[in-house]
Amino acid sequence: MSFAVSMLVFLGIASIMGTVLKQNEPYESYIIKLGQFWFVYFENIGLYDVYHSIWFLIILLFLVLSTTLCIIKSTPAILKDFSVFKDSLEEKSLLSFTHHFVIKNKKDVSTSKVLQYLKQSKYKIKDKLKENGDFLIVAKKGDYQPIGYILTHIGVVIICIGGLLDGNLIFKAQELLGYKKIETLDIPASKVPEVSRLNVSNTSFRANMTLAEGSSDKVAYVREKDGYLVQELPFKITLKDFRIYHYSTGMPKSFESDIVISDPDLPQDITKTISVNHPFTYKGIAIYQSDFQDGGTKLNIKLQHLFNSNSTRNIDGRIFDKVKLDKDQITYEFNDFRKFNILNLKKGEKEKPRNVGPSVTYKVRNSSGQAREYLSYQYAMPIEGRSFFISGMRETPQEEFKYLKIPADAKGSIDEFMLFKDALQNKILIESVAKKMANQSASGADKNSNVQESFETSVNKLMTLFAQGGFSNIAQNIDKNIPASEKEKAVQTYLKIIDIASSEIYKAKLNVADKDLNETRILFIQDALNAYSDLFFYGVPYYFDLISYEQKEASGLQLTKSPGQFWVYLGSLSLVLGIFSMIYLHERKLWLLIKAKGGVIVALSSNRQNIDFENDFKKLIQEIKKIIQ
């Protein structure tokens, strides 16, 4: 395989490596994925940032070097060939061309007709009367084709050099020599020591900054390996406002930031709006809209106690802040707020995703430091024709959320469930319902007070068990106390009793008459019982009810300084022109010797042997013969 080809293939394979393993992830995720042993090994050979690793750079340098050598080697010959017409060829050498033909003994050839034909065929022409009276026409066309070779390869070299300019070579060298060090601690920018700072004169960087609405900053962060560097900026950026526009479907349509640039060099601040695809460049630094996050939204939350309604309370929180509940020894940590959530509620069907309103993600940490993560939505959302308040919980970030689904009442609020759940826990109410049920069951045939009493006791016991632990508590009880052969039947009976008892409790608590216990309410009771059972696995004794919020957003900006960009574009232009001329221009050299003694010799050559050349040659024979004979 030729050298150029092997280099291209080698570079290709090297590039594939970086797409197999996801690049520039946080180091912890590599440790999880690869295990500690392989993690270290892979880090040493730079597999987490292949395209900036030493060995990849060496391949690129090698490519640049050899291509440069190739250009240097071939250019003089190409340029010489471009500028001269080879008019020193003799008859003998023309006859040695693979593509030549001879018209014998023809005299009085009209040179002007031949010249005219060649001109028409877009040849550049030079003619010469030789000392022996022979007339030699030298013609060529497509002679920019070999120049294309130079343009192409120079283009490649310029692109690579431009790319290297924008790479982090200087930092790499400084890091190697110990002048610079990556900061890995999560500390404020002002505390980051000098070794991890890049000053204003840095010629090329790609950095990020996050600004909350109303705040400003003079530094940005460059991510490197498992840490970052602080890049100082020659101006201050303030975020005045950040906006998201939505399509009618709820999908985001545009992200926009109003920024103000303050620079001591300027008499006046610059105010600009940037958005995706519309960056703003100042002092060689391009400022892009890259992403967004919460900037510290204020929240007002009603924490509804799930087992003791007297403990229900309101708290004020703020994203990125914490609230400690001393009584429960737990801490709420608010992580993120989203005003819009576009969800596809009917999976698999041809249903448009819809906006289900605001949500908050937060962690609840107990006194021993363990935390569960929660996701709560403000409003109920429709699922299978009914309406539920959804709240997700997971113990570790790797897990999927498990959802608590609390049915909403006819008014779309959670109040009815809360009342119902209080009633389920109300001993007095349970007792009275048990009594009522016992009375009803006995009101028929025989009045056996013993049976009636024991029925009342079991209803009472069953509902107390349910109140204390939901369905799973009852299941445990059955497992413990009832022989396997009768389990099936017991389950049936118990479920039926719970059904009836809870309807009674529901009616009593909410003052619903028998005739008003319709289908919707029955379904509500079912859903509520299920939700109630799930409360015992929810991990925190409060339901998170977002009452109101005051949104504050933060915009993620990317700042880049890339002096190599111009060179990359210039190189690309050269590359395109070069490839175009190399592929689409057909280089032809033609000699036509009209001998004084009579007879004509025509020779045609090209640097490519292919069908087009053969066809051109055939056509040439035809046409010249037509003209001359």
Partner 1 sequence: MFNKLFKSSKATFEAFNVFYLAFLLGGAFYALNAFHTYMDAYEKVILFGSVGFFSWLGWKWNHFKKSMILVFVISLLSIYLYQGDLANNEQIFLLKYLIASQSAIMWMNVFFVLALLLYWLGLLTKNNLTDNIASTFTFIAVMFGFIGLLVRWYESYLMGLDIGHIPISNLYEVFVLFCLITSLLYLFYEERFNTKKLGAFVLIVINAAVGFILWYTFDRHADGVQPLVPALQSYWMKIHVPANFIGYGSFALAAMVSVAYLFSGKKILSSYLPKLVVLDDLIYKSIAIGFIFFTIATILGAIWAAEAWGGYWTWDPKETWALIVWLNYAAWLHYRIVKGLRGTILAWWALIGLVITTFAFLGVNMFLSGLHSYGEL
Q: Which residues bind ligand HEM (CB under 6 A)?
A: 2-4, 7-8, 63, 66-67, 70, 74, 149, 152-153, 156, 579, 582
Residue 355 near partner 1 by CB under 8 A: no
If contact means CB under 5 to 8 A according to the sort of partner, which of partner 1, ligand HEM, none does residue 63 touch?
ligand HEM
Stretch that binds partner 1, among 26-34, 431-439, 500-508, 558-566 (CB under 8 A): 558-566
Which of ligand HEM, partner 1, none binds 74 (CB below 5-8 Å, type-dependent)?
Answer: ligand HEM
Q: Where are the alpha helices (DSSP H) in 211-349?
A: none
Q: Which stretch binds partner 1 (CB under 8 A): 72-80, 89-97, 108-116, 245-253?
A: 245-253
Nearer to partner 1, 290 or 293 (CB): 290
- Separation CA 151–CA 10 (nearest Å): 23
68 binds partner 1 (CB under 8 A): no
Among 27, 42, 51, 401, binds partner 1 (CB under 8 A): 51
| Residue among 138 and 156 whose Cβ is closer to ligand HEM | 156
Q: Which stretch binds partner 1 (CB under 8 A): 10-18, 323-331, 368-376, 413-421?
A: 10-18
Nearest Cα neighbor of 441 from 459, 425, 466, 421 is 459
Q: Judged by CB under 8 A, does residue 144 bind partner 1? A: no
Residue 163 beta carbon to partner 1: minimum distance, rounded to whole angstroms:
7
Binds partner 1 by CB under 8 A, chosen from 350, 411, 480, 597: 350
Q: How many CA atoms lie within 13 A of 619 on its CB side?
A: 9
Q: Which DSSP category does 593 fall into?
A: E
- Tell me which of 129, 276, 410, 522 binds partner 1, using CB under 8 A: 276
Q: Would you count residue 618 as binding partner 1 (CB under 8 A)?
A: no
Q: Which residue from 227, 279, 357, 541 is in contact with partner 1, where contact means CB under 8 A? A: 279
Report the Cα 505 to chain-centroid distance in Å. 52
CB of 157 to ligand HEM, least distance (A): 8
CB of 350 to partner 1, least distance (A): 5
Residues sharing a CB contact under 8 Å with residue 430, sequence separation 6 or more, in sequence order? 424, 460, 463, 464, 467, 501, 505
Nearest to 355 by CA among 373, 340, 371: 340
Among the listed residues 202, 238, 275, 530, the single contact to partner 1 using CB under 8 A: 275
Q: Shortest approach of ligand HEM to residue 78 CB, angstroms?
A: 9
Nearer to ligand HEM by C-beta: 17 or 182?
17
Contact 167, 629 (CB under 8 A): no
Answer positive or negative: Cα dihedral of 256, 258, 263, 265. positive
Q: What Rg, from alpha-carbon coordinates, does the chain have?
A: 41
- In angstroms, the CA 243 to CA 258 distance is 9
Q: Residue 21 or residue 102: which is nearer to partner 1 going by CB?
A: 21
E strand or H helix that includes residue 612: helix 611-628
Instruction: Locate the DSSP E strands across 93-226.
Output: 100-103, 124-129, 135-141, 197-198, 205-212, 216-224
Considering only 229, 233, 568, 601, the residue that binds partner 1 (CB under 8 A) is 568
Q: Which residues pair with 503 in a beta bridge?
A: none
Chain-centroid distance, C-alpha 475: 46
Is 300 one of the binding residues for partner 1 (CB under 8 A)?
Answer: no
Does residue 32 interact with partner 1 by CB under 8 A? no
Q: What is the DSSP string of 494-531?
A: HHHHHHHHHHHHHHHHHT--GGG--HHHHHHHHHHHHH
Shorter beta-carbon distance to ligand HEM: residue 74 or 273: 74
Nearer to partner 1, 87 or 612 (CB): 612
3-state SS assignment for residue 366 = strand
Nearest to 260 by CA among 234, 287, 238, 290: 238
Binding interface with partner 1 (CB under 8 A): 2, 4-5, 8-9, 11-12, 15-16, 18-19, 22-23, 50-51, 163, 206, 247-249, 251-255, 275-279, 286, 288, 290, 350, 558-560, 562, 565, 568-569, 572, 575-576, 579-580, 582-584, 608-612
